């Protein structure tokens, strides 16, 4: 892209504009500077609230894909890419799903999670290559994350995903009408200019994290991974999570600590099965063959 054209494009973005409320933050005392950050952060939830209808559409698309054996694949650069990877890696321990069900890809590869890889995000073909490497197909959903809405790596990933007939979602922090590529659903919270001009790890990053949290969490709820408001398929990969599992069994089945521990042992660590055993006194074999959803309790 011509440098002057790129400069003009970047200058027009909300995320690249100056925030009038922080113009003098470099000479504010500490308490006042902290207050400015907090006041600006308050705007994020309201920006996300305006996008709830589109987030709900995204949840329906993702849930349908999961039920057909498809995957949710995030693609982003910088902070956006890191947030996608973060959401993906947290799904298996939280909801007990296969690590390949939600996947995060960041421009520059996993090295870019800890060390900035300059320039990689500027190439559409790299995004397309990463989509091809994952063998994305019509069962999958590709979610491009780009605060600016223009990141070439993300644009390339979405274009390649559409060629492969995958469903596509965009999460950007600039107005919807400025989106320059086609997706099935665009989620566009606009929390306004950053406290530090262009630093999208701030409000834009917070808005993005909130959106991704909702998409995967509600999708997992709709798959039966949550009973009432409790995680019933969590993986016990540390002592804290073992004890959390027992507490969930105690609350869901109204049993004491010892009975919850016993049922969890019988169920070989599977919380959903342990709850069924605790509620019905059925054996492990019967519990594992139960086909009724947890909401039947």
Q: Which of 121, 124, 160, 194 is catalytic?
A: 121
Query: Is position 178 annotated as part of the catalytic site?
Result: no
| Cα(145)–Cα(213) distance, integer angstroms | 13
Contact (Cβ atoms closer than 8 angstroms) between residue 14 and residue 192: yes
Question: Is 121 labeled as catalytic in the residue annotation?
Answer: yes
| Helix 271-280 and helix 257-266, axial crossing angle in degrees, nearest 10 | 120
Select which of 16, 90, 243, 262 is catalytic: 90
**Residues annotated as catalytic (active site), given as ranges:** 90, 121
């Amino acid at each position: 892209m011509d440098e002057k054209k790129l400069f003009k494009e970047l200058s027009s973005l909300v995320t690249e504009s100056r925030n009038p409320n922080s113009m003098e933050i470099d000479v504010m005392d500490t308490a006042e500077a902290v207050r400015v950050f907090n006041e600006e952060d308050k705007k994020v939830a309201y920006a996300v609230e305006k996008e709830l209808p589109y987030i709900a559409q995204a949840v329906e698309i993702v849930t349908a894909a999961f039920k057909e054996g498809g995957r949710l694949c995030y693609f982003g650069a910088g902070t956006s890419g890191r947030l996608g990877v973060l959401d993906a890696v947290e799904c298996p321990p939280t909801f007990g799903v296969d690590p390949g069900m939600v996947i995060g890809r960041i421009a520059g590869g996993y090295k870019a999670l800890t060390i900035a890889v300059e320039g990689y995000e500027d190439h559409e073909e790299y995004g397309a290559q990463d989509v091809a490497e994952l063998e994305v197909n019509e069962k999958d959903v590709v979610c491009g994350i780009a605060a600016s809405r223009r990141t070439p790596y993300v644009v390339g990933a979405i274009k390649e995903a559409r060629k492969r007939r995958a469903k596509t979602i965009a999460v950007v922090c600039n107005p919807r009408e400025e989106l320059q590529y086609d997706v099935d659903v665009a989620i566009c919270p606009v929390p306004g200019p950053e406290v530090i001009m262009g630093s999208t790890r701030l409000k834009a990053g917070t808005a993005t994290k909130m959106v991704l949290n909702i998409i995967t969490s509600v999708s997992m709820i709709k798959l039966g991974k949550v009973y009432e408001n409790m995680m019933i398929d969590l993986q016990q990969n540390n002592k804290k999570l073992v004890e959390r599992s027992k507490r969930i069994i105690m609350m869901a089945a109204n049993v004491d600590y010892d009975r919850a521990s016993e049922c969890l042992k019988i169920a070989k660590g599977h919380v959903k099965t342990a709850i069924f055993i605790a509620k019905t006194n059925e054996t492990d074999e019967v519990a594992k063959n139960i086909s009724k959803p947890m909401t039947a309790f």
